């Protein structure tokens, strides 16, 4: 009896005569019956199709399987007239209740899924967002084992799209991959939007999806989708895990491709493969040691010399910074200060240089300021680093341009540039600074640029003050909202933003100090902000990293928040200290604006909203609603100081953007 234990499963009178129920004892689920004054304990699984007998009924003295109607004696488990039956367990009626004798839980047997999760952890995967379901249970158990051992963290979300957005945001912030988990079919396809966000913004991420059994793959089984085909364009690498695969090597390749290709890797786990015992020789890979090399590629010396010549000749050089330069801003700012060159950013790169730096000229393009466009138009040389030349940014194509990027296809992607330079941005700028120092005597820095920039900034600050003073009786203006947020949001906060008028206004009015901004850049997906905040928050829990302990403040409109508002309960469940700022104008304001601009009728952009503040409260978070300007500061302060999830709903005017 040493490998068994007695477990109390029912109170007296809890299970009426003639009824059945299911109970779980550790990992074992049983069907309990009460018939003829006796209790029975049977294995819950019908031996034919696995039907849950605890959901069956006792009819004419026999327990009927709810799936296909097979009958069993409710006490002995025998099938009348047949040799088969259901395994039974000892059961006793004691003074304090009904007890069943069940086997002790066996030690966990290492599986193929364990091997692969151990390998991903060895490659630095620390977080998984996902939804556990019927076709990924074996894989989910491997994730659970790693979490129980303290090697990673798992977050159960309400929609798989939130899982992939969280993983994408984590990759953008840290440069390291996290994972998202889904079942076959609709769970896997729900991941695609967030994975496309990771793909187009070059964010490393790993998708783990269940799949139907290999024996029924092809004819069209329940929830069968050609996942390799569905993920074909979004994933830089996608493979199905098979019984004979080199499982550790598959996981290694998934991590390696995500890191080196800065994109999405995808592993497909057929249901029955997930629980195959791990072959003794299939040990996990040790991690990236010996599998990765130093990727700091330096440009050809001739290109650096040519770049230095152009810089030395320029009277008004300007640096344009994109998201690709986010890990190299120290070198960018050093070069800017040496040249006394203004620094413009793309919208996706907002915050990479403080808006209070004397050379910061703000965001360029549709989400930007008149300062940035003026500075660019007055320039005679653009030094563009890590930027894509998106039409939303509007980098001038007629100005002499040096483009520096680590991605060959990014160089001259949309039009020819004067000098395309291939190299890791930090290394390239270091080499350029070194050559400039001895290339030949440079001109005196153009003092006019710094003076002109200060004058333009002063004009823009005056304009922002005028906009903050606009009549706000019909809702707060964006200029006012983001002025308050600029003053109150912690200077090292991580700020995921959504899309829409709220985000355009953020780019225009919010003044970054040392904050880090995350957004759905190329994809521009509505709903990004709240799931991205979960990804950012996970990074803030990592000890010894640059993100440890930083506050996360996400910003969206009502349209964007409505996409993933269920995830507020995820924040509550895991105690995520995230403050969400929600600008509520009861419409898709950016679309209304585009309809007016295109001389269309404004149609179907109005929204019917609940009280989002009350909704937050019902979810277990703090919720505050603001409808008057003088209440905003107090509300934001209270939300930021709250330990746990908080939401500030601000009634805004769709026309004051």
Pair 521, 199: CB distance under 8 Å: no
Residue 441's pLDDT band (cuts 50, 70, 90): very low
Band the pLDDT of 447: cuts 50, 70, 90: low
pLDDT band of residue 3 (cuts 50, 70, 90) is: confident
Q: For the ranges 195-209, 382-396, 571-585, 623-637, which has the lowest average pLDDT? A: 382-396
* Averaged pLDDT for residues 122-137: 96
d(CA 41, CA 6): 12
In a domain, residue 163? The reply is: yes
Max CA-CA distance within the chain? 103
481 and 648 in contact (C-beta within 8 Å)?
Answer: no
**End residue of a domain, out of 81, 103, 125:** 103
Q: Are 127 and 182 in the same domain?
A: yes
Which residues, at least 6 apart from 246, have a Cβ–Cβ distance to it below 8 Å? 282
Which segments of 149-220 does DSSP mark as H helices, in order? 160-174, 186-190, 192-200
134 lies in the same domain as 98: no
Among 103, 126, 154, the domain boundary falls at 103
User: CA-CA distances (angstroms) from residue 197 to 45, 171, 264, 274, 302?
Assistant: 42, 11, 10, 28, 36
Contact between 262 and 324 under an 8 Å Cβ cutoff? The reply is no
Per the structure, the complete domain to which residue 117 belongs is given by 112-273
Asked if 39 and 22 touch (Cβ cutoff 8 Å), the reply is: no
Please report, rounded to a whole number, the percentage of residues in the chain having pLDDT higher than 70. Answer: 98
Residues 231 and 135 in one domain: yes
Confirm whether 463 is domain-assigned. Answer: no
Q: Yes or no: say if 269 and 214 are a contact pair by the CB < 8 Å rule.
A: no
Entry pTM: 0.91
Rounded CA-CA distance 307/428 in Å is: 10
CA–CA distance, 325 with 608 (Å, rounded to integer): 41
The DSSP bridge pattern shows strands 71-72 and 97-103 to be unpaired
Residue 605 and residue 487 share a domain: yes
Chain mean position to CA 356: 29
Residue 254 pLDDT exceeds 80: yes
Let me know whether 587 and 475 are in one domain. yes
Q: Which of 435, 431, 204, 199 is nearest to 296 (CA)?
A: 431
Last residue of a domain, one of 103, 134, 165: 103
Task: Note the pLDDT tens digit of each residue in 50-78.
Answer: 899 999 999 999 999 999 889 999 999 99
User: What is the Cα–Cα distance from 2 to 261, expressed in whole angstroms?
Assistant: 53
Residue 324 carries which DSSP code? G
Band (pLDDT 50/70/90 cuts) for residue 196 is very high
- What CATH number is attached to the domain comprising 26? 2.102.10.10
- What CATH number is given to the structural domain containing 484? 3.40.50.970
Indicate whether 291 belongs to any domain. no
- Is the same domain home to 311 and 264? no
* pLDDT confidence tier of residue 287, bands split at 50, 70 and 90: confident
pLDDT in tens, 541-581: 999 999 999 999 999 999 999 999 999 999 999 999 999 99
- Reported as a single tens digit per residue, the pLDDT across 26-36 is 889 999 999 99
pLDDT bin (cut points 50, 70, 90) of residue 1 is: very low
Give yes or no for residue 215 having a pLDDT over 80. no
Domain match, 494 and 407 both: no
487 & 626 share domain: yes
User: What's the rounded Cα separation, in Å, for the pair 230 and 220?
Assistant: 15
Question: And the tokens for 540?
Answer: 């803030």
pLDDT tens digits, 164-184: 999 999 999 999 999 999 999
State the Cα–Cα distance between residues 327 and 318, nearest whole angstrom: 20
315 and 414 part of one domain: yes
Q: What is residue 445's predicted lDDT score, i.e. its pLDDT?
A: 54
Same domain, 47 and 166: no
Q: Give the Cα separation of 352 and 347 in Å (integer).
A: 10
**89 within a domain of the structure (yes/no):** yes
> How do the residues of the chain divide into helix, strand and coil, expressed in percent and rounded to 5?
35, 25, 40
- The verdict on residue 280 lying in a domain is no
DSSP reduced 3-state for 180: strand
408 inside domain: yes
Which residues have CB under 8 Å from 282's CB, separation 6+?
A: 112, 115, 246, 247, 248
| Domain match, 320 and 228 both | no
**How would you classify the pairing of strands 57-59 and 62-64?**
antiparallel
Q: Domain tally for the chain?
A: 4
Q: What is the CATH number of the domain that holds 307?
A: 3.40.50.1220
Residue 209 in contact with residue 158, Cβ under 8 Å?
no
Determine how β-strand 91-94 pairs with β-strand 71-72: unpaired
* H or E element at residue 253: helix 247-260
Tell me if residue 405 falls in helix, strand or coil. strand
Residue 23 falls inside a structural domain: yes
364 found inside a domain: yes
Q: How many residues does the chain have?
A: 657
Query: Is the per-residue pLDDT at 606 higher than 50?
Result: yes
Give ∠ CA 480-633-619 in degrees, rounded to 5: 110
Q: Residue 207: its pLDDT value, please? A: 98
- Distance (Å, rounded) from C-alpha 651 to C-alpha 611? 11
Question: Please, what is the average pLDDT of the chain?
Answer: 93
- Ramachandran class of 237: left when φ > 0, alpha when ψ lies in -120 to 50, beta otherwise: beta
- pLDDT surpassing 90 at residue 91: yes
95 and 117 housed in the same domain: no
- Smallest CA-to-CA distance from 517 within 201, 157, 195 is with 201
């Amino acid at each position: 009896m040493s490998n068994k234990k007695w477990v109390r499963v029912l109170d007296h009178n809890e299970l009426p005569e003639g009824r059945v129920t299911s109970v779980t004892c550790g990992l074992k689920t049983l069907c309990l019956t009460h018939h003829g004054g006796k209790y029975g304990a049977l294995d819950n699984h019908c031996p034919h199709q696995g039907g849950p007998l605890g959901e069956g009924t006792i009819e004419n003295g026999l327990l009927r399987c709810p799936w296909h109607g097979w009958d069993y004696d409710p006490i002995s488990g025998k099938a009348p007239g047949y040799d088969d039956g259901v395994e039974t367990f000892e059961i006793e009626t004691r003074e304090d209740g009904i007890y069943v004798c069940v086997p002790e839980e066996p030690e966990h047997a290492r599986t193929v899924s364990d091997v692969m999760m151990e390998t991903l952890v060895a490659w630095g995967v620390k977080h998984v967002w996902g939804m556990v379901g019927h076709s990924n249970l074996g894989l989910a158990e491997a994730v659970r084992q790693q979490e129980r051992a303290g090697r990673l963290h798992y977050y159960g979300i309400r929609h798989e799209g939130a899982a992939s957005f969280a993983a994408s945001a984590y990759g953008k912030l840290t440069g390291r991959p996290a994972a998202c988990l889904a079942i076959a079919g609709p769970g896997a396809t729900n991941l695609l939007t967030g994975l496309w966000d990771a793909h187009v913004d070059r964010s490393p991420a790993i998708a783990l999806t269940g799949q139907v059994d290999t024996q029924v793959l092809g004819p069209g089984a329940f929830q069968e989708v050609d996942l390799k085909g569905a993920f074909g364009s979004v994933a830089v690498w996608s493979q199905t895990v098979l019984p004979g695969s080199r499982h550790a090597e598959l996981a290694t390749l998934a991590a390696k491709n995500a890191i080196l290709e800065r994109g999405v890797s995808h592993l497909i786990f057929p249901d029955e493969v997930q629980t195959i015992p791990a072959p003794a020789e299939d040990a996990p890979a040790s991690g990236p040691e010996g599998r990765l090399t130093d990727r700091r590629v330096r440009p050809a010396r001739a290109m650096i010399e040519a770049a230095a010549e152009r810089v030395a000749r320029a009277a008004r050089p300007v640096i344009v910074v994109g998201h690709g330069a986010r890990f190299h801003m120290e070198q960018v700012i050093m070069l800017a200060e040496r040249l006394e060159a203004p620094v413009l950013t793309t919208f996706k790169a907002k915050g990479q240089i403080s808006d209070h730096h004397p050379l910061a000229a703000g965001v360029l393009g549709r989400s930007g300021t008149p300062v940035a466009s003026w500075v660019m138009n007055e320039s005679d040389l653009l030094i563009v680093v890590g930027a894509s030349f998106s039409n939303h940014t509007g980098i001038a194509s007629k100005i002499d341009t040096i483009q520096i990027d680590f991605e060959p296809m990014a160089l001259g992607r949309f039009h020819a540039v004067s000098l395309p330079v291939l190299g890791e941005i930090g290394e390239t700028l270091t080499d350029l600074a070194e050559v400039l120092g001895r290339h030949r005597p440079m001109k005196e820095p153009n003092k006019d640029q710094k003076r002109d920039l200060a004058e333009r900034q002063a004009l823009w600050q005056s304009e922002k003050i005028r906009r903050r003073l606009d009549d706000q009786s019909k809702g707060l203006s964006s200029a006012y909202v983001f002025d308050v947020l600029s003053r109150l949001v912690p200077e090292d906060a991580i700020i995921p933003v959504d899309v829409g008028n709220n985000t355009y206004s953020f780019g225009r009015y919010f003044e970054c100090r040392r904050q880090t901004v995350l957004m759905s850049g190329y994809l521009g997906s509505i709903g990004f902000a709240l799931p991205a905040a979960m990804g950012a928050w996970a990074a803030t829990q990592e000890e010894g990293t640059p993100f440890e302990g930083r506050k996360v403040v996400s910003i969206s409109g009502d349209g964007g928040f409505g996409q993933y508002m269920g995830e507020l309960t995820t924040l509550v469940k895991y105690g995520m200290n995230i403050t969400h700022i929600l600008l509520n104008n009861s419409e898709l304001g950016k679309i209304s604006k585009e309809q007016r601009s295109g001389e269309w009728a404004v149609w179907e952009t109005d929204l019917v909203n609940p009280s989002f503040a009350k909704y937050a409260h019902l979810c277990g978070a703090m919720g505050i609603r603001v409808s008057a300007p003088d209440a905003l500061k107090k509300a934001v302060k209270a939300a930021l100081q709250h330990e746990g999830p908080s939401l500030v709903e601000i009634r805004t005017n769709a026309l004051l953007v």
